[in-house]
Amino acid sequence: MEPTSFRFNNGNTATGIYLESPTDFQRGLEKLQVCRSRPVLVLVGGASKMEPAAFDRLKTLFDEVLAPTIDRLDAIVIDGGTDAGVMQLMGQARNRLSANFPLIGVCAVGTVELPDGTPPASDDAAPLEPNHSHFVLVPGSDWGAESPWMAQLASHIADDAPTCTLVSNGGEITWQDVTYSVKEGRTTVVLAGSGRTADKLAAGLRGEPTEDRAEPLIRTGCLQVLDLDNEIEFLQTVLSDLLTRPAA
């Protein structure tokens, strides 16, 4: 288990490592020089199928709230690492801010195209987002294979520090990501007004008709709704509170 350096066309460099098992988390983090006991935001939601209108609407949130707050709190962000949707928004916001917080993409190795020239394992492999600082590559050739790894790695890194998941937009895999988030007992914030899966979960949280599969997730008590139409200052306050309160 040795880290590798990924150099992207935009001139940025990230450190990547391949892990075989969650039992490798501690050793892998040491190799990546990522410290534990720091607040962690897990970012899940829309990727390549996110609507352009949703992407544009979320950009302000990422640029003016998420990236500055994470940087100020010396927190860590974990997401799916590919160059699309919310992962692209997070990477670009971090780059525009010239922020230093670790942005860790967790990717099933068979689903991504590495910048080192390694031939991709499948025709629909996605490129890595070039503004991430780290990548954790895990076994799997199907989209969504990374979901349990993201959830467990966040808990391992946070340790006794606070952690939460933010759900923006999203498709089928987002339902899976949310399921793994609540299995970890993690506060999971659903961003109403961001579209698709997030809006379906938000509807259920408000007692409105929604898909049946939302109900068991809501019953865990881990989900809460936050409206994208709120003032920037309010969104920033909520996120700051979630990532500074004592861990449960």
Residue 227 within a domain: yes
* Segment 72-95, tens digit of pLDDT: 999 999 999 999 999 999 999 999
Whole-number pLDDT of residue 53: 82
Per-residue model confidence as pLDDT tens digits over 174-228: 999 999 999 999 999 999 999 999 999 999 999 999 999 999 999 999 999 999 9
Which pLDDT value is given to residue 248?
54
Return d(Cα 154, Cα 131) in angstroms, integer: 19
The pLDDT confidence band at residue 65, using thresholds 50, 70 and 90, is very high
Residue 248 located in a structural domain: no
Overall domain count for the chain? 1
The confidence score (pLDDT) of residue 49 equals 80
Residue 247 lies in a domain: no
Residue 194 resides in a domain: yes
pLDDT tens per residue across span 127-136:
999 999 999 9
Using CA atoms, how far apart are residues 242 and 248, in angstroms rounded to an integer? Answer: 11
For residue 127, the enclosing domain spans 4-242
How far, CA to CA in Å, does 221 sit from each of 42, 43, 50, 71, 188?
18, 19, 27, 28, 9
Question: CATH no. for residue 233?
Answer: 3.40.50.450
